[in-house]
Structure 1
Amino acid sequence: MSVWIAIAATAVGCYLVKLAGLLVPAGTLERPLVQRLSGLLPVALLAALTAQQTFSSGSALVIDARAAGLVAAAIALVLRAPFLVVVAAAVLVTAGVRAIGG
């Protein structure tokens, strides 16, 4: 499959998903369950992506320097550090563990 065909198919798919969202009746979007789910779904997806990127390598489950960086970021978040400090802590701890581990 050509790269341009894949790009065109993705663009059409994105447009159709957006169009489907616009066609949903307003009454459906005002339901309390839908509003709760729309607030929680992005958090759940981000947590799943973070876990998958941190604890997997190919098809294997691993615990390596990335896990240490995630723990450092979590500690920085608990201490209410600014976002850039959280990212810097994760990067520095991950790099440090990788440097020590070889």
Structure 2
Amino acid sequence: MAPLFLDPGLFNRRVALDQPVIAADGAGGGTTDWQELRAVSVRIEPVSVTTRERFDQREAMITHRVLMRANAVVKRGMSFRLGARRLVIVSVHDPDESGRYLVCRCEEER
């Protein structure tokens, strides 16, 4: 397989990479807060929007593909923050197994 070529100019957005921090609520559950790890340059591509009915309300699920330079810290469950928007990472993979880039599938948190 030929290595994937990505123009470095594609990584045109600076976003915060956040990790979840669970705080116990005293009732056996917890609340999720987010702690910023670092700022990273990424390319964000909208992938799909699906809607569904839930509790007599219409909900939309927006998914994105986020491309970035390889980074050993990035894991499923973390998120990218763009201002007030949060893209929660659902999966992370190396598209050409070269160790140079990562593709993250994300769901926008509403």
TM-score of the superposed pair, with normalisation by structure 2: 0.20
Q: Which has the higher helix share?
A: 1
Structure with larger RCO (C-alpha < 8 A, sep 6+): 2
Q: Which has the higher strand share?
A: 2
TM-score of the superposed pair, with normalisation by structure 1: 0.21
